[in-house]
Structure 1
């Protein structure tokens, strides 16, 4: 089927699902390479015709083969044996051999093929977390990472990857922040769309998830999110919309939470109105595991009940068929459910290119992608007196904390991936519940301590675990330099209650910095953290959860083997008082909800997103006048850059970037809408990574997605007539001179 360059699609912000481009808008320019392309909406429409022809051949009983699946894992005592053809993994849906429909073999992602406690006896390439990918601001890399993971999925016999995390980081304490991309809809949509396209280039399906407004983990099965249609369309839904336009995922996974009293997987508003009607999405909606409240979810837009054994009952089997037999309209709906699954399978190539376990994997090439991804996501936050790269004359180095003698930290839950040999180290959080083994703090193999020692063979490199601050500080005073590894572990199902580093790490860093001001802090976090010791340390590197090559990436950054270029995809607030909600709703009242828990309808929990509406992260700070600890888009380099000469007509912009330092490096051009008719209104409207030699200047051009200038009017988008101000930004708070443009009013529908 026809394909087109994924990066052209990613930057063509005006491509609308089911509609043409908005007249008068230009595509952005990019230096990205032309790799294999993404599916188009036209491909999906053509696949729908083929799908309907297959449905017409189905016997009535076959019409519930594709509408529900199981989780073929021994997660509970006396779990039934997995069905024939299933692979130990997240999900399995039986196919229909006589019609050429294969079994659907589903694995968790999105940072690699989920380890599932080693039950398959295999391993996979462990990529950096989603937020690290977001910090790269790199669409090319997102595509390549997705393509690599998709290759491994296919080689292992999987044809559906549960990837594509597109929820916005409304609150940095969300336990799944590490899986998602950013707080910004443009960055999230473009990066995740390219990533999905890369996965699907292997003729397998990628999902996009968790649709939608899935912003917290503690109480996720109970929370009722309150938000207006306008605010949702201009924030979280826009991120999904852009991601779907670019990647055309075969499936959308709905969420556990409620939205305005409707459960995400039974939401008439989200599934039927927004996704299928307004956006004309052609693929299928699968549930999250254990998120289906009843048969009525099928009438409200859900096409497939996933992991049905985790729900109160199997609703989409004979119960669904009998309801359809009794009502022609519901039989039409059942046919549509099947056609949507088959559309996703046909469009992505699953029907024509069956997967088979045992395919060859180029582990070395995939490790290289993991390394480059980890390097691109590292953010240099502080570098006083250019202490980094590490001085060649440092004769003694103390490494402290973070289990840096074992490996690098990874996020917990269904997305856990491990390379050969499994985890280097595990620490349990709890010892009860069916999923206790998944709720463990785990480390990838590859110890940063050894990577540092390898680079300083003639130096004394000592290690302290950091259990006692006094011990570490006493030794720190005797050393030339100190590198402290500080960890914030996050996991699916559990939010963090505050932004402090747990287990006394802040006090430890403060004591060490007092003893030795030449202290460098390496953060391995799932999101933002406070830094009460920031003024007292010499340098800070944010490494996130860097994946299996994290040890080499971190050491390479410390020793200057590459020039850090990552930028923050989320705001680091000074305190939780700067957030729209100072406390996580339900954190005190609700115990962490284990995977697969049945929803108790008597439990009530609400989170009001109307407080901030569409003004998330840096937008909220701009509205409220807050100054972040580190703003969105922030990141330093081992060289310096200058940007200027912004020119714009309100649909695109160009500007010049110069490397004013003595070392080659890569920077990020950022263009923001900053005002309308003189009133503050901040939006990232364009971005591009630029690589420059010392003294080199390049002119960069980006196009604007017009929806970022517009407002949702209830039926479509409107750009009000007025004067719009734009500015170049080193980050969301360090902005250049404003350039104004007078725009005429325009309105259009999705």
Structure 2
């Protein structure tokens, strides 16, 4: 992958002080600074955990969307995680990306976390182990992984300022642990610091976390990159060990570093230490063979599609199959009703920086319809209910007025193009002066933070977004708009939505207006309606957005749905069908960076829809598509239930493969599903309801996730590690080796597939320390394996364990302790489905620090 000739020390010695300072900050949103004089070019960085978006939010190049990390964690499959990492690496190479801002390994502390779908698990061992495989796959392609967000960045509420107040023991055992495991097992070349404070001090200037623990104690050799606009000091961040401030232009470095050097608050040695780490990252980029300032393409090959399809299926959890309805068969499934708001509109990902423009998306309805053809079944569809927070984007139904191609035209003027630019009515016959710059765009959700030619467009400008909306059905339509800036929506020249004096809302990372809606009555199928959004951004810019942004527009729309009529239609469809598949859930509007959810409820009349369909037909499959848990008040009536995490491009085909038996389900929950929010261990100390004077108290300590349910003897809706198969597995012959003086031992057991169906079983090893000096969890996951077994086959598996399986962190001694005594070992199919038990003994206590 290129050469390895770049010499960090020689290059450092050639740099002048101003050049060194220049390297400490990024160049724009997605590049590092270049120093052509010494041959240093700009490295390219890109979001994110489920795909490489490239260098643009606005008009981004399409990319493969990978399954959400909460689904990948639920696969319990290290080989799959590595393959997903490799697929991401291939996509990064296609986009000339040297540094991928992934994976996210923050702990899923609450079901309400806005970015919960980005993380692998509530359990630190599973989280770190899957992350390590993912990183190894990504870096095998020469692309740097950036493990994030270090550390305790577990909520979106006041994320730039909130203090995560957590005990040292919980910090070590729960929140730092996945980073520690991944660093030990995969050596990520970069790490991203978190926005938040930990125990009062921002992570980006926390020397104890970034230098004492991360670098000195753990031996981390990589580069520390700030989260975007996540640096709040000059001297503090540099002294703490934060190497690269992103994005550029600099806010906290640059001239401020020069001033700090004059005052001798910083030394040349401080600067050199940071620059060396940036040059070491550059050395990886140089060796990768990935071009600098190269083109942005994408991967869409049969091989890539198969990886995506496999990943989509292998991240789906079968929660209930009490009547053996699944897999669907030709004999009993001639008429299939597909019902629900998440069926027709494919939701490949959650929102925020994880979102991207998918190369394609197979919706559940499309995947099921195609699979049904193979067994000669007929598929009919009804929406049943709506579940959107914001109205669905109009992308499939718009045409550029300039050339008739799908999309819209966006024009920019540096001076107000007319006195009546934001009038109560526009005359489309009146010609505006030629725009200073214009571009086509593909959709109706445009954050104009990049992708704009800033050599032609001033920061303060006037924007016109115009398109033709072509409905696919007759009827009245709900239309909604939010913008970043001040502006109006005109339909056929008539003022329809006025956002000229709107307060800030929640869109566009909090920069946008509220979402305002209206109704367009009597629209006709296949007729054209001129939509035009006009924006003036002067006041928006003067308010000082935290990053470069010219503005934004989001248009959504959907044919009006009467809740009662929609449910009635769905029930009637279910009644005359052999099988009803009800697909409900959330989407990237509900689960997104920037906002935590307010509750665990499914939106709108979704729960009512599910309940009514369950009454109408005895053969109902309920599919819940979310990144994190939701409440399921109808769960006891639902005998067949599937958890489908956001599945990426191939989400529809992956789901169909499970439902029709092409793939035997093998995933198991990486997060506990509570019966109600109040049962969550973090309740009520989470987000805005739990904040206390700018801080969140991690009151549950080490008892996060399943640890909290077990210590309180509280029954969840579905336990950690739960997931069913179409096969039946039997466990036997558990043995354990003696524990060495270094805490090393192994467990072995036999698993047999007692069915006639090939399958894969995730076996889980839990450790209990009943004699511990300090309180410990009832059981802790310390090992797992995914075993493929043909029909009637059995295999003996050995799982190696080490001192980490026995230890707790002692705050008083400041070290890890493996305490002598008896340890109980439980092997099972889930946290609650324990099949085998045995004991072993550690003869002598020992302690250690570091990895």
Q: TM-score range by the shorter chain?
A: 0.7 to 0.9
Q: Report how far residue 326 of structure 1 moved.
A: 4.8
The residue number in structure 1 matching 2:847 is 747
Cα distance in 1 for residues equivalent to 2:60 and 2:365:
28
Q: Report how far residue 358 of structure 1 moved.
A: 5.6
The residue number in structure 2 matching 1:304 is 244
Whether 1:668 and 2:767 are equivalent positions in the alignment is no
Output aligned runs, 1:370-449, within 5 Å. Answer: 370-393=308-331, 394-420=333-359, 445-449=361-365
Q: Report how far residue 499 of structure 1 moved.
A: 1.5
The residue number in structure 2 matching 1:484 is 582
Output aligned runs, 1:41-120, within 5 Å. Answer: 50-72=7-29, 91-114=30-53, 119-120=58-59
The residue number in structure 2 matching 1:318 is 255
DSSP 3-state at the match of 1:346 = helix
Q: Report how far residue 463 of structure 1 moved.
A: 0.8
Whether 1:695 and 2:792 are equivalent positions in the alignment is yes
DSSP 3-state at the match of 2:176 = helix
Q: Report how far residue 475 of structure 1 moved.
A: 2.6
Deviations 1:591-626 (A, max 9, x none): xxxxxxxxxxxx9432111x2222221111121111
The residue number in structure 2 matching 1:435 is none
Q: Report how far residue 645 of structure 1 moved.
A: 2.0
Deviations 1:696-741 (A, max 9, x none): 1101111124223112234332101111111102111122343111
DSSP 3-state at the match of 2:628 = coil
DSSP 3-state at the match of 1:319 = helix
| Distance change >3 Å, CA 623–CA 403, structure 1 → 2 | closer
Contact 2:86–2:140 (8 Å) recurs in 1: yes
Contact 1:102–1:351 (8 Å) recurs in 2: no
The residue number in structure 2 matching 1:606 is 695
Q: Report how far residue 345 of structure 1 moved.
A: 3.0
Whether 1:246 and 2:162 are equivalent positions in the alignment is no
| Distance change >3 Å, CA 352–CA 395, structure 1 → 2 | closer
Contact 2:63–2:298 (8 Å) recurs in 1: no
Whether 1:643 and 2:723 are equivalent positions in the alignment is no
Contact 2:767–2:806 (8 Å) recurs in 1: yes
1:658 to 752, 757, 762: 752
The residue number in structure 2 matching 1:732 is 831
Cα distance in 1 for residues equivalent to 2:638 and 2:369:
22
Q: Structure 2: any 5+ residue segments left out of the alignment?
A: 386-565, 740-744
Q: Report how far residue 62 of structure 1 moved.
A: 0.8
| Distance change >3 Å, CA 328–CA 266, structure 1 → 2 | closer
Contact 1:585–1:606 (8 Å) recurs in 2: no
- Greater displacement, 231-240 / 668-677: 668-677
1:462 to 355, 380, 383: 380
The residue number in structure 2 matching 1:498 is 599
Deviations 1:282-338 (A, max 9, x none): 2121111111111122112211110145xxx71221221342355396221110001
Q: Report how far residue 119 of structure 1 moved.
A: 3.3
Cα distance in 2 for residues equivalent to 1:299 and 1:118:
33
The residue number in structure 2 matching 1:718 is 817
TM-score after normalising by structure 1: 0.82
Q: Report how far residue 348 of structure 1 moved.
A: 6.2
Cα distance in 2 for residues equivalent to 1:211 and 1:200:
19
| Distance change >3 Å, CA 586–CA 358, structure 1 → 2 | closer
The residue number in structure 2 matching 1:572 is 673
Cα distance in 2 for residues equivalent to 1:513 and 1:675:
44
Count of aligned pairs: 648
The residue number in structure 1 matching 2:222 is 283
| Distance change >3 Å, CA 645–CA 552, structure 1 → 2 | same
Output aligned runs, 1:130-209, within 5 Å. Answer: 130-209=69-148
The residue number in structure 2 matching 1:78 is none
Contact 2:155–2:687 (8 Å) recurs in 1: no
Contact 2:65–2:348 (8 Å) recurs in 1: no
TM-score after normalising by structure 2: 0.73
| Distance change >3 Å, CA 280–CA 327, structure 1 → 2 | farther
Cα distance in 2 for residues equivalent to 1:329 and 1:619:
45
Contact 2:682–2:700 (8 Å) recurs in 1: no
Cα distance in 1 for residues equivalent to 2:262 and 2:187:
32
Cα root mean square deviation, aligned: 2.3
Q: Report how far residue 347 of structure 1 moved.
A: 4.6
- Greater displacement, 149-158 / 575-584: 575-584
Contact 1:205–1:345 (8 Å) recurs in 2: no
Deviations 1:504-537 (A, max 9, x none): 2111101110111211111110111221111112
The residue number in structure 2 matching 1:451 is 367
Whether 1:235 and 2:159 are equivalent positions in the alignment is no
Q: Report how far residue 389 of structure 1 moved.
A: 0.6
Cα distance in 2 for residues equivalent to 1:304 and 1:680:
39
Q: Report how far residue 632 of structure 1 moved.
A: 0.9
| Distance change >3 Å, CA 407–CA 157, structure 1 → 2 | same
Cα distance in 2 for residues equivalent to 1:586 and 1:121:
32
Cα distance in 2 for residues equivalent to 1:542 and 1:415:
21
Cα distance in 1 for residues equivalent to 2:838 and 2:353:
46
Cα distance in 2 for residues equivalent to 1:479 and 1:583:
44
Whether 1:369 and 2:307 are equivalent positions in the alignment is yes
Q: Report how far residue 269 of structure 1 moved.
A: 2.4
DSSP 3-state at the match of 1:410 = coil
Q: Report how far residue 212 of structure 1 moved.
A: 0.4
Contact 1:656–1:698 (8 Å) recurs in 2: yes
Contact 1:574–1:628 (8 Å) recurs in 2: yes
Output aligned runs, 1:499-514, within 5 Å. Answer: 499-514=600-615
- Greater displacement, 450-459 / 410-419: 450-459
| Distance change >3 Å, CA 118–CA 617, structure 1 → 2 | closer
Q: Report how far residue 480 of structure 1 moved.
A: 1.4
Cα distance in 2 for residues equivalent to 1:344 and 1:473:
58
Cα distance in 2 for residues equivalent to 1:712 and 1:142:
29
Cα distance in 2 for residues equivalent to 1:365 and 1:107:
23
DSSP 3-state at the match of 2:592 = coil
Output aligned runs, 1:521-536, within 5 Å. Answer: 521-536=622-637
Cα distance in 2 for residues equivalent to 1:347 and 1:228:
37
Cα distance in 2 for residues equivalent to 1:472 and 1:334:
65
Contact 2:62–2:298 (8 Å) recurs in 1: no
Cα distance in 2 for residues equivalent to 1:161 and 1:648:
41
| Distance change >3 Å, CA 405–CA 116, structure 1 → 2 | farther
Cα distance in 2 for residues equivalent to 1:419 and 1:207:
22
Contact 1:586–1:605 (8 Å) recurs in 2: no
Whether 1:123 and 2:62 are equivalent positions in the alignment is yes
Contact 1:125–1:363 (8 Å) recurs in 2: no
Cα distance in 2 for residues equivalent to 1:120 and 1:500:
33
2:801 to 701, 704, 714: 704
DSSP 3-state at the match of 1:738 = strand
| Distance change >3 Å, CA 721–CA 589, structure 1 → 2 | closer
1:474 to 572, 579, 582: 572
Cα distance in 2 for residues equivalent to 1:715 and 1:584:
27
Q: Report how far residue 550 of structure 1 moved.
A: 0.7
